[in-house]
Structure 1
């Protein structure tokens, strides 16, 4: 409501970019990597959310540089999703003592087909 002349497609695209920058890395790493820690997950959520959110606010606020900077601000998921993944992995590796002890067993149960009986 505060910003005029913003298309619905652009605002929806930016909202999805913010969502993808936070939840996609969390879901992928949470399902496939047993080393994800709670602090790593939170740090990645914050980094991805602030990165994409800041780019969305700048874009909607009318800041439109040309060239690569404008393209990266207009499509923030291209760099904020990898940023969130990198932060989650880095912080999780730095706080590896906080990794859940049962993570390996849980991931085996999660990925084992139902037709097999896992002991």
Structure 2
């Protein structure tokens, strides 16, 4: 048998790993780091998705289920989310001219307390 069935808990865990590897870095950097570029965001999403899907595929096929390999493949968000963060930052630093216009103004408005906004 090529693929072994996984329980519901393992399947849900792996689905959350994909979300953690893609949307978490995008949301955190998109809200708090004004130098995030579109190219950096897309590169990080691609790396996070690819790494998580490779780990999920390996888990479904029961590849490397023992030792450190099993730990890393069983919890892919532990390494794929930081890798997505690093990729987003690195690619954004290499492509600084692609930052969307008015990013600083939008982030300032987003982070300014309402009591300080003009009425």
TM interval, shorter chain, is: over 0.9
Whether 2:61 is the aligned partner of 1:61: answer yes
Alpha-carbon distance between aligned partners in 2 of 1:107 and 1:114, rounded to the nearest angstrom? 14
TM-score, L = length of structure 1:
0.93
Structure 2 equivalent of residue 38 of structure 1: 38
Question: Which SS does the other structure have where 1:101 is aligned?
Answer: coil
Count of aligned positions? 118
Kept in 2: contact 1:22–1:48 (CA 8 A): yes
Runs of 4+ in 1 over 2 A off after TM superposition: 2-5
Q: 5+ unaligned residues in a row in structure 2: which ranges?
A: none
Alpha-carbon offset, residue 5 of structure 1: 3.1
Structure 2 equivalent of residue 47 of structure 1: 47
Whether 2:5 is the aligned partner of 1:10: answer no
TM-score, L = length of structure 2:
0.93
